[in-house]
Amino acid sequence: MIIRIFQLILYCALFTLMVKYAVRGGAIDGLYFYPKTVQERAIEIGLTDRDTMNRKRKRFMTLFYVVMLVALVLIIAFWNHVRGFRTAYLQALLFLEVMNIYDGIVIDKLWVGYSKFWILPGCEDLPYIQTWGQVLKKRSILALIWVAGAAIVGLVVVMIGKL
């Protein structure tokens, strides 16, 4: 149990590092994380352009999903020595759901909600922090998506185990 908690903390720390990497040049680098109204204003006032924002989104999200998937598979298949689908699925689901909750509370509500880092010049009057209702809605949808995502991870772990 202690080792699993340690693994979950490491996985969430990796998640945080990935977000930090996304905004390494400033919050404008993560404009795709913001609501559409903020995105439109930032583009309108010349902080960036739509093509740049979309290119950064594609690059980051591709890297993010690859890194987080590889890390999860490495933890489950090699650190935890799991070979069966059921155990791999349940561990993947645990990690993905904890990451989901962590993202909603720690990243969205605490880091974005209380850090001046995320305030974009010229967009100060626009709401960019998610309400608890928005967080709950988004996290509920993602919770369902991660049910399928965990199955994919489980299959990958089983395939690795057969090598």
Q: Is the pLDDT of residue 163 over 90?
A: no
Q: How far apart are CA 46 and CA 34, in angstroms?
A: 16
Q: Is the pLDDT of residue 38 over 90?
A: yes
Q: How far apart are CA 153 and CA 69, in angstroms?
A: 7
Return the pLDDT at 95: 98
For the segment 71-80, the average pLDDT, to the nearest whole number, is: 98
87-125 pLDDT per residue, tens = 999 999 999 999 999 999 999 999 999 999 999 999 999
Average pLDDT, the chain: 97
pTM value?
Answer: 0.94
Q: How far apart are CA 4 and CA 122, in angstroms?
A: 44
